[in-house]
Chain A
């Protein structure tokens, strides 16, 4: 039956919460099925022996056509859902993609991520405010962090001073500076008290 391969592609996506690996094989086989369906319809339309007004022929054409549109719908839904999840990643994880998800993206999806990132960055620069930094309203202006690794550079430039960070030490500092360090993977937030 037409459309079964497309449904398999969609089901894989549904069972996985975040972005699974791009199903190149699945998508190409669905496209091949669509080509075949198109050629079948073309053949019937161009054939001179068949009576085009006969409902039997019409049933045939409609069946193939519905299969074609069904495949199209499934593939579009697949691509759309992946795009939505990638957008969510940008808001949750920041500018760099998590390393376990990055190889799962198709080339064009990576391009999408970069362009979306640029869009947000440009907007943030114009408005002078980064929307994605605090997803929940911060309760406190200061935050406790522990440094888990140093990058080799000794002096980290913070808002009003440059300091030297040492591994495994706890620092109490500005929320924005701390977020910057956390995003770079150098520190972890301590949820105490």
Chain B
């Protein structure tokens, strides 16, 4: 389910800061912010006469003078020099891209800025508006901490920070669970929209499950098993048998949309042919 899970895909879309370990060829237009205004969309649709090479060339040559020339570049590609990104620049990119680049150690994936906020949240997890941190808090937090710990360490300090992040995320979930449980049970009677807004994606799923379970339980208590219901079904069976005994040719349709009418008719049918009333269970 992981590869095709929509929530997981969306959680990997979170932006994250990275630092380049080496130069990046020809990616300035894509990854650096200041080019955003000048950047002609890479997803440009080809005009009928346009060659693909031309369109790529036109995109890359509208780069800014922001990045410095890379000294190792060959003279042939002087035009594209300015689109390279130098090593040690800090970039902001979606997490899925950072993951791939980090696997080959081309970047150092940095911890998000809200890591420090977590320390102050420890006081009272239940009241934290996790949506303000990120909607995919649990997925993203856990994945990031495992990823940095296993594939992108670079230093012992980072190892420790990754472990701490993992523990914090876990603790947050454990502390907030009673809150979710309590509010999902009272969902039918109270207006919990304020609380729901503070929940992350995973928590909201739990909340909805709890809510539906509670509704089904209430429904079951009213309509489900119960002595009165059993008696009624016996009654209905008796009525049914009497109805079926009447031959098809002589059968008349029951009265339209009249609850009381049907009950009266049922009572009538309970009378035997000689007029005496058949005993019924009560």
Contact = CB atoms under 8 A, between A and B. Distances in A.
Interface of A: 1-3, 5, 7, 10-11, 13-14, 29, 32-33, 36, 39-40, 43, 49-50, 54-60, 62-63, 65-67, 70, 73-74, 76-77, 80-81, 139-142, 146, 161-163, 166, 168-172, 192-193
Nearest to A165: B253
B202 interface: no
Contacts of B259: 192
A147 to B, nearest CB: 9
B58 interface: no
26 contacts: A1-B94, A3-B13, A7-B10, A7-B13, A40-B56, A50-B25, A56-B22, A56-B24, A58-B104, A59-B20, A59-B101, A59-B106, A60-B24, A62-B101, A63-B97, A63-B100, A65-B100, A66-B96, A77-B3, A77-B9, A81-B4, A139-B229, A163-B248, A169-B255, A170-B257, A193-B232
Given A36-B42, A73-B9, A63 B30 contact: yes
B96 A58 contact: no
Interface in B6-49: 6, 9-10, 13, 20-27, 30-31, 42-43, 45
Nearest to A40: B56
Given A56-B72, A63-B101, 12 more contacts: A2-B42, A7-B13, A11-B10, A49-B76, A59-B23, A59-B106, A60-B25, A65-B100, A139-B233, A161-B248, A163-B248, A170-B257
Nearest to A5: B43
A141 B96 CA distance: 55
B236 A140 contact: yes
Given A139-B233, A169-B254, A56 B23 contact: yes
Contacts of B93: 1
A140 B43 CA distance: 60
B115 interface: no
A20 to B, nearest CB: 13
A160 B133 CA distance: 65
A50 B77 CA distance: 9
B186 interface: no
Interface of B: 3-6, 9-10, 13, 20-27, 30-31, 42-43, 45, 52-53, 56, 70, 72, 74, 76-77, 84, 93-94, 96-97, 100-101, 104, 106, 229, 232-233, 236-237, 239-240, 243, 248, 251, 253-257, 259, 262
B25 A142 contact: no
A43 B23 CA distance: 20
B53 A172 contact: no
A168 B106 contact: no
Given A13-B6, A81-B6, A170-B257, A3 B104 contact: no
A57 B45 CA distance: 25
A142 B77 contact: no
**Ranked 6 nearest A-B pairs via Cβ:** A56-B23, A66-B100, A56-B25, A55-B22, A59-B24, A60-B25
Contact of A170 (B13, B21, B239, B256): B256
A142 B101 contact: no
Contacts of B239: 172
